[in-house]
Amino acid sequence: MSSTIKKSKIFQGVCEICGVPAEYNYFGVISCNACKMFFKRNAESGQTAFVCNFGGQCEININTRHVCSSCRLTKCFKCGMDIEKFRASRQSEPKRRCLVKLPTLNLLRSDQSLLTTNQWTLLSNLCNSYNESQILPFSERLTHIHDTSQFSCRAYTVLIEEFLASIYETTRTYLCSNDDLRRLSGDDRSVILRSAADYVSCMGGTFIMQYYHLYDLDGFLNAMNAKYGKSLMDVHIWSRKFIDPNIVLAKLSISMFAFSEDSCSYYSNISSHYTNSITILQIQNKYAELTWKYLLYKYGLHDAVNRFLNITLWLCSMHILAFHAQSLANHVSDVDSVIEKTELKLILDDIDEMDETNQ
């Protein structure tokens, strides 16, 4: 068994074992820390110690990876994990608890240098975290049915319900996969989740409707007016002009304002006091700097200023939209469901991570 310590290479992808976002190559395979630790503990003796109760046919993913150790270890080997490639973990410096002074982001800075490797990786991860692919089929069907003789109000209403459900589910998936949210303390996470779920669902909805040209469909707007009211949909239509046509920027905006703590003022029964608010501000600053540097890289200073202004105006319109949406029982119920499922998922992941570390 080799004891040589080698530096892992950074990747932008997912764990080949359980499918969660992963950046590093462990034992020859892109994998998350939990699957790395599992393989390291069990690679030598696990194959004889573990027994599958279902004939070795278990599916291994983020939700089932702790259920069947036998199939999980088998998948590790099938994906190419090599017992001869053990690497000692890098020693990390102890986390500092002291508060640090945040630098002010100067939007008129003329530095147009390229993003760092870590920032490119973060940009890719944030864009991949908000994955609209599950919304696409419903968007295409809404357009197709609207433009054909198959249109019927009842069927179209059912399809819109499925479309909206996919937006909230995409919001939940994004929140569960955002590494910065996952690393927050339980108290901070429970507070920021309320505003994050509201912002991501509202901003994601306007982004999808604009990108797939759903605002141009009379039947779609009539159905949405009936469901949410014309005044709310007027805000929707007004906000569309601030959405950048660059999908990368739209997704960066969603991430940046997912951590906007200002929206907590909408919820009188929610405390706005974080146990470590500096962490929230650091995440906001990191995302804002990433967005600004990407704008400079892509468009130059003049267009970068104009586009960042539009992003800010989009946020303002989303403040108004989120405020009005709080009076709609169906929206509040859907957001509550997203929060409940996300909190449960993240808590189970925390427990799973602790179990993996302690074993």
User: Residue 278: what pLDDT?
Assistant: 79
CATH code, domain carrying 38:
3.30.50.10
More confident residue, 8 or 142: 142
Q: With the C-alpha atoms ordered 114, 119, 122, 126, is the resulting torsion angle positive or negative?
A: negative
Asked if pLDDT for residue 109 goes beyond 90, the answer is no
Distance of CA 212 to the CA centre of its chain: 21
pLDDT at 8 over 50: no
Q: Are residues 200 and 79 in the same domain?
A: no
Strands (E), 43-126: none
Average pLDDT, the chain: 78
**Shared-domain flag, residues 15 and 122:** no
Burial of 267 by CB count in 10 Å (0-12 exposed, 13-18 middle, 19+ buried)? Answer: middle
Indicate whether 78 and 37 sit together in one domain: yes
pLDDT of 325 strictly over 70: yes
Is residue 102 assigned to a domain? no
Same domain, 203 and 331: yes
Residue 67 shares a structural domain with residue 182: no
Residue 346 domain boundaries: 117-358
In terms of domains, do 189 and 130 share one? yes
Backbone angles phi, psi at 104, to 5 degrees: -80, 130
pLDDT band of 154, cuts 50, 70, 90: confident
Residues in a beta bridge with 24 = 10
Q: How confident is the model at residue 115 (pLDDT cuts 50, 70, 90)?
A: confident
Q: Which of 80-89, 151-160, 334-343 has the lowest mean pLDDT?
A: 80-89
Question: pLDDT tens, 274-290?
Answer: 456 778 888 888 999 99
98 in any annotated domain:
no
More confident residue, 20 or 148: 20
Residue 94 maps to a domain: no
Q: What is the mean pLDDT of residues 299-319?
A: 90
Q: Answer yes or no: is 185 within a domain.
A: yes
Is the residue at 107 inside a domain?
Answer: no
Tens of pLDDT, residue by residue over 232-287, are 888 888 988 899 989 999 999 999 888 875 544 334 444 445 456 778 888 888 99
Residue identified by tokens 């270890």 is 73
Say how far apart CA 339 and CA 318 lie, in whole Å. Answer: 19
- Residues 126, 33, single domain; the answer is no
Spatial contact of 127 and 248, defined as CB atoms under 8 Å apart: yes
Q: Is residue 35 part of a domain?
A: yes
**Residues 172 and 275 occupy one common structural domain:** yes
Place of tokens 């004891």: 3
Answer yes or no: do 66 and 128 share one domain: no
Contact by Cβ (8 Å): 127, 312: no
Total domains, the chain: 2
Residue 173 pLDDT class (50, 70, 90 cuts): very high
Query: Do 199 and 277 belong together in one domain?
Result: yes
* 22 and 131 inside one domain: no
CB 115 within 8 A of CB 133: no
Last residue of a domain, one of 66, 85, 104: 85
Report if residue 101 sits inside a domain: no
**d(Cα 251, Cα 253) in Å, to the nearest integer?**
5
Residues 6+ apart with CB under 8 A from 156: 142, 145, 146, 219, 220, 223
* pLDDT over threshold 50, residue 306: yes
Q: Which of 41-45, 50-54, 85-89, 113-117 has the lowest mean pLDDT?
A: 85-89
> For the residues 308-312, what does the mean pLDDT come to?
92
CATH classification at residue 312: 1.10.565.10
- Residue 100 counted as domain residue: no
Same domain, residue pair 72 and 155? no
pLDDT, one tens digit per residue, over 177-195 is 898 888 888 778 877 888 8
Token code pair at residue 344: 């449960």
User: How does DSSP assign 267-335, residue by residue?
Assistant: -TTS----TTHHHHHHHHHHHHHHHHHHHHHHH-HHHHHHHHHHHHHHHHHHHHHHHHHTT-HHHHHHH
